[in-house]
A and B are shown apart, each in its own frame.
Chain A
Amino acid sequence: ILNVEQSPQSLHVQEGDSTNFTCSFPSSNFYALHWYRWETAKSPEALFVMTLNGDEKKKGRISATLNTKEGYSYLYIKGSQPEDSATYLCASNTDKLIFGTGTRLQVFP
């Protein structure tokens, strides 16, 4: 994988549903994996920075896992709420920080 890829591109879920999405990144020369939350008309805000294979981080209802050997990270949201609606970006830091195109999440009440 030469680029940072995220899937799905967009996701619509009902309030209360749990959801997850994927970030794939180059596994060679890996340094760190970042997750950001980007609300419309605002700027991206950091959720997690992960560096260790097998690492798992949690912030409230949001958690993330990291597999550096195979080059992927999952972001999970438990019990989605309408305020979780945003674009979720991941970025891989090898020699520079490259962003994926994001997963746009919409949570309907």
Chain B
Amino acid sequence: DAGVIQSPRHEVTEMGQEVTLRCKPISGHNSLFWYRQTMMRGLELLIYFNNNVPIDDSGMPEDRFSAKMPNASFSTLKIQPSEPRDSAVYFCASSLGGSPLHFGNGTRLTVT
């Protein structure tokens, strides 16, 4: 198993541009989580899906952020328009039932 796969690993973009982060969970896992890591707030839960359905998106900062999971093997997190304060490492994680989370390697986003 290749684990949770995120792309890209690094993204540098200019303020105002659209950014799309991608995640492929572990096959067979039914829960998928998007977290954001910042120095100030540590790991923040943005949104999580169960069986491809968004369960809780209360952590999504504002309307500029959106996430989709069109099928069990793919999810996207989109920021439009991006702002410098969105700069962070974004982690995707998946799990099956109450099992531990398996994290991807993260996407380091820099918005200039």
The residues of A with any CB-CB pair to B shorter than 8 Å are 31-32, 34, 36, 42-46, 49, 51, 89, 91, 93, 95-102
Q: Which residues of B contact A97 (CB under 8 A)?
A: 33, 45, 48, 101
The answer to whether A89 and B43 touch across the interface, beta carbons within 8 angstroms, is: yes
Q: Which residues of B contact A42 (CB under 8 A)?
A: 105
The answer to whether A96 and B99 touch across the interface, beta carbons within 8 angstroms, is: no
Chosen A-B contacts, 28 in total, with CB atoms closer than 8 Å, are A36-B100, A36-B101, A42-B105, A43-B103, A43-B104, A43-B106, A45-B103, A46-B100, A46-B102, A49-B98, A49-B99, A49-B100, A51-B98, A91-B101, A93-B98, A95-B56, A96-B48, A96-B55, A96-B56, A97-B45, A97-B101, A99-B35, A99-B42, A99-B43, A99-B45, A100-B42, A101-B43, A102-B42
Bound-state Cα–Cα, A42 to B67, Å: 24
Q: Which residues of A contact B103 (CB under 8 A)?
A: 43-45
Bound-state Cα–Cα, A42 to B32, Å: 19
The answer to whether A43 and B105 touch across the interface, beta carbons within 8 angstroms, is: yes
The interface residues of chain B, by DSSP majority, are classed as strand
B58 to nearest A CB, angstroms? Answer: 9
Taking CB as reference atom, which chain A residue is nearest B102? A46
A4 to nearest B CB, angstroms? Answer: 10
Q: Which residues of A contact B102 (CB under 8 A)?
A: 46
The answer to whether B45 and A44 touch across the interface, beta carbons within 8 angstroms, is: no
A87 to nearest B CB, angstroms? Answer: 9
User: For residues 67 through 102 of chain B, which have their beta carbon under 8 Å from a beta carbon of chain A?
Assistant: 91, 98-102
